[in-house]
Structure 1
């Protein structure tokens, strides 16, 4: 059964939010700098490279031997890649056809980890993946041996799962389909995928269940997020997009302790709302991109948006430069910790408090050393506070596009992922390090 819910946000409510003290402008404008020398092999988005375009990572933490932890990333039409803690590739999975009658080859956009799902009489950890070309979720069991396994991932997607956002294959082929993804596990035995829709403002949740010894989903709920915003000057701002497209959301993350969903609306900013989706899910705009409120005009020849008034100031914050993309949570003691957001437009990462009103703390960028390049245009990111491999104070993994360097063919579209020590980030920004269980239900 599908439940459709309407998110009603009046212009007056949005104006009130804008006039409230903006969290981001109170933050330090200094950008900290951290370094990394650890990055994954380059992926090329062309026929010779298997049309592999890196996008989103997830970190699976081994319960007993952190050296066997793995990083799983999406490569869109290129499928999935699995890396060990030294960023070496240990598995490559193609984006195969989905197990359905009206099947198409996959396009894997985002990935997250579900811990302790009951399947075929045992508990398993699962990589959950959004498949854009089939508008559905795909599921891959993680071998308990992790990086020591011959094949760390094995697909276990049940046949003929319903489309998440579309009524039929014809509508799916228009590509307003499953896009951003996060896993929500509110209690033992209950797991949901939280999915955004490409080209619209819709968010959906779907409960993950066992179906005939494999994994599928049911109980799809949908919520439409705002696409128009009242401004203090009395005008209404609609983020400029190409015709027929609304300001989409991509990077979501769920605070597993509170059930709060954080979602980045690429041309708008960072939202917070309470799960489950329903009448009580009142979205709060935590922070706004820098050009929030600047009225743009779409140029059909250049397929770009340009300001109607080049001197317009807008009402944005100072930490996010569109697109706002990947989001994840670093868990500290109790309700403390941090929400991280990739500010793709200026190659930086914004940091907010996890607790309270999510006060902005500043930003950092990542400089490559020892043969690694600087991180540019980051899309997805993942962070864990758990010790993994040599990263004893936690690990951030982030997408990098374009990947550059002397060994990279700059005539081809190149991407990869970089590993960054959380300890280095914490020192650079005076943040907390806490390596206890965090969001992993195996250690709650």
Structure 2
């Protein structure tokens, strides 16, 4: 069904009264905003996962190369104040796989996945999450979910402000090197907010991390969501309350900000989780959560008007998620149920929600109209 976007309108109205603006000015502002807003569709999930114990935050998708229908969703449960968080593992029916779920992680925030890290001479897929209370990265092999981090990799060493939150993995197409790009709860405003680590075998079959780069501007609220487009070589992150920022992902690249989008009054409050839907021809979508409004905004992956750094909005979608932080998406065909892949998003009711991509994707008419 279709409904009008009214949350922002209500916010404008309440702020107008609070600031004692003239009624006529209030009315004109509200009417102008309503004219700009298009009808936004709302969809319901195909699958809702079983409940976690405390507080869902961020999902990642592992594609089973031998049988995509046996792929997994790995999701963080931040846990309580005593640090009893977890990495929950679900099948595509949303059932918790208890034998793979990792408990007693001290405040895991975000999680991401990389394929083919060389450990003990074997290509190993890994799930990597931040563990905030120990200032570490935790790393587990897939699909077994066995620890391969020797108890954790300490990050942001020497910093007063540490508290890791966001994480995203970059695989260099030329060398196959795998890097973790991590953000934190708070940090400096001197362009070194994100730290990038090369992940490799420590000689004993565990993963070690070597700091190779510091980059990224920060406005001062929080940076949690990070997403990397390895094929194109870009990293995106949500500088909350400001917009989505874009840099090169390679550690030897310049630290110049390439783009800022999703800024202005598009987001109701915080721009949050980011995921990237990828077509083989380089096109696709950058999907960003409008957390307070329960909306997801879709931007052009390839850019617009011949400019690879002009990421135009092509669709906004109401989902059934509540206060969604993290999301992930895949374009890999998953049997007859998800022939174009699926989208999964965290919901603030201790679940993750899975959506058939065909239900959420922008239509060609929408894309053409925005280019």
TM-score when normalising by structure 1? 0.66
- Alignment check: 8 A CA contact 1:395 1:420 kept: yes
* Match for residue 193 of structure 1 among 180, 184, 193: 180
| Structure 2 match to 1:382 | 328
| Structure 1 match to 2:162 | 176
* Match for residue 315 of structure 2 among 362, 366, 371: 362
> Given the superposition, is the C-alpha separation of residues 359 and 121 from structure 1 closer, same or farther in structure 2, using an over 3 Å criterion?
same
* Match for residue 219 of structure 1 among 207, 211, 230: 211
* Match for residue 86 of structure 1 among 83, 93, 101: 93
How far is the alpha carbon of 1:160 from its aligned partner? 6.5
| RMSD, matched Cα | 2.4
Q: Deviations over 1:285-326 (max 9, x none)?
A: 43244xxxxxxxxxxxxxxxxxxxxxxxxxx142x2221111
> 3-state SS of the aligned residue for 1:133?
helix
Q: Given the alignment of the two structures, is residue 261 of structure 1 paired with residue 235 of structure 2, yes or no?
A: yes
How far is the alpha carbon of 1:397 from its aligned partner? 0.5
> Which one is further off, 280-289 or 31-40?
280-289
> 3-state SS of the aligned residue for 2:359?
helix
How far is the alpha carbon of 1:93 from its aligned partner? 3.3
> 3-state SS of the aligned residue for 1:113?
strand
Q: 2: distance between equivalents of 1:337 and 1:38?
A: 24
TM-score when normalising by structure 2? 0.79
Q: 2: distance between equivalents of 1:359 and 1:329?
A: 14
- Alignment check: 8 A CA contact 1:270 1:288 kept: yes
Q: 1: distance between equivalents of 2:262 and 2:363?
A: 24
Instruction: Show structure 1 runs of 5+ residues with no match.
Output: 1-26, 44-48, 97-104, 144-151, 228-245, 290-315, 367-373, 404-414, 433-444
> Given the superposition, is the C-alpha separation of residues 222 and 375 from structure 1 closer, same or farther in structure 2, using an over 3 Å criterion?
same
Q: 2: distance between equivalents of 1:176 and 1:166?
A: 8
Q: Deviations over 1:386-429 (max 9, x none)?
A: 0225212111000001x2xxxxxxxxxxx210000101112667
Instruction: Show structure 2 runs of 5+ residues with no match.
Output: 1-35, 80-84, 303-307
> 3-state SS of the aligned residue for 1:247?
coil
How far is the alpha carbon of 1:334 from its aligned partner? 1.9
Q: 1: distance between equivalents of 2:176 and 2:182?
A: 20
> Given the superposition, is the C-alpha separation of residues 376 and 363 from structure 1 closer, same or farther in structure 2, using an over 3 Å criterion?
same
Q: 2: distance between equivalents of 1:363 and 1:41?
A: 27
Pairwise mapping of residues 86-235 of structure 1 onto structure 2 (< 5 A)? 86-91=93-98, 93-96=101-104, 106-143=106-143, 152-158=144-150, 161=153, 163-167=154-158, 171=160, 176-187=162-173, 188-200=175-187, 202-211=193-202, 212-227=204-219
